[in-house]
Amino acid sequence: PETGKVVLEVEAIRKEFGGLVAVNDISFTLRAGEIMGLIGPNGAGKSTTFNLITGVLEPTSGLVRFQGERLDKLPAREISRLGVGRTFQHVQLLPTMTVLENVALGAHLRRNVGVVAASLHADRRIEAELLHEAAVQLERVGLGDYLYEQAGNLALGQQRILEIARALAADPVLLLLDEPAAGLRYKEKQELAAVLNQLRAEGMSILLVEHDMDFVMKLTDHLVVMDFGTKIAEGTPEYVQAHPAVLEAYLGG
Ligand code: ADP
Ligand code: MG
């Protein structure tokens, strides 16, 4: 999509778990070629918001539109096929498979031929295509030297970038990344930021949940801040950083 065009619209989305309102009528808009941050203290509802957008959870109320199309009633696989890629808060790689095979499974998803590892070998021609696509995505994120390494042997920072490559293999328009910088060393964070900046320059839209304020402030165009399920502030990093409610949520406890 054209830069600046609305890619994702979240409208008054709500999720209740029993008596707990985990996400309380949250709204925001994400535009093409933008990196948007979703931040807030632990338990604020960030991962739940991701799960509502990606169809892992069904909202109690509210709606999600992606490129004009309603997502909020669709199953996760359909949402992924429409062009919404994601990574999870906890690394979800197959550690004994190679880097290349892990990403080939992501490409496999888009073809809608099942996700079972065994079936990856079912058709030689498709397998070769998937492996080729996987290698292209791994080159794109700078992991071209690690194709035949076991995924579990990579450093955490590389595993996070590998997960992004796997999401890219399904050819997304929008990437949702849940705490990609968590636990990374300073240099790994810089490498990750470089990959995300490059993807943005290529026109990718990215929605990022992140704890590391420094990382978020340098990287994002636009931020939504949540606390106890509610949106407490929204705007540029500079604006949000100085917002009293944000300072209160982070420092006031
Ligand atoms: P964050 O990602 O911002 O740390 P979460 O979205 O994971 O927060 O959680 C928001 C709130 O919802 C928390 O209070 C959490 O305990 C609760 N929660 C999350 N998932 C579930 C679930 N599946 N069942 C019940 N409560 C949940
Ligand atoms: Mg979370």
Query: Each residue of 133-159: pLDDT tens digit?
Result: 999 999 999 999 999 999 999 999 999
What pLDDT does 114 receive? 47
Q: Ligand 1: distance of its center to the CA of 45 in Å? A: 6
Give backbone dihedrals phi and psi of 136, rounded to 5 degrees, phi first.
Answer: -60, -45
Nearest-atom number in ligand 1 for the CA of 45 is 6
* Phi/psi-derived region of residue 79, left when phi > 0, alpha when psi is between -120 and 50, beta in every other case: alpha
pLDDT in tens, 203-249: 999 999 988 888 999 999 999 999 999 999 999 999 998 999 988 88
Place of tokens 């590998």: 162
Give the model's pLDDT for residue 214. 86
pLDDT in tens, 52-69: 999 999 999 999 999 999
Residue type, position 57, single letter: L
Query: Which residue's CA is the closest to the ligand 1 atom numbered 7?
Result: 47
Contact 225, 249 (CB under 8 A): yes
Count other C-beta atoms under 10 Å from residue 65's C-beta: 16
3-state secondary structure of 225: strand
Q: Say whether pLDDT at 15 is over 70.
A: yes
Ligand 1 near 251 CB (within 6 A): no
The reply to whether ligand 1 has any atom less than 6 angstroms from the CB of 43 is yes
110 band by pLDDT with thresholds 50, 70 and 90: low
The band of 124, judged by pLDDT with boundaries at 50, 70 and 90, is confident
Q: Which atom of ligand 1 is nearest to 46's Cα?
A: 3
Q: Does 165 have pLDDT greater than 90? A: yes
Distance from residue 124's CA to the centre of ligand 1 (Å):
42
Q: Tell me the angle at which helices 99-111 and 156-168 cross, rounded to the nearest 10 degrees.
A: 30
Helices 124-140/156-168 angle, 10° precision: 120
Q: Which atom of ligand 1 is nearest to the CA of 40?
A: 3
What is the model's pTM?
0.91
- What distance in angstroms lies between residue 88's CA and the mean position of ligand 2's atoms? 9
pLDDT at 116 over 60: no
Residues in the chain, total: 253
Cα 3 from Cα 133, distance rounded (Å): 25
Burial tier of 59 (Cβ tally within 10 Å: 0-12, 13-18, 19+): buried
In this structure, CATH architecture of domain 1-83+173-253: 3-Layer(aba) Sandwich (3.40)
List, by residue range, all CATH 3.40.50.300 domains of the chain: 1-83+173-253
Retrieve residue 101's tokens: 């095979």
**pLDDT-derived band at 1, boundaries 50, 70, 90:** confident
Q: Is ligand 1 within 6 A of the CB of residue 239? A: no
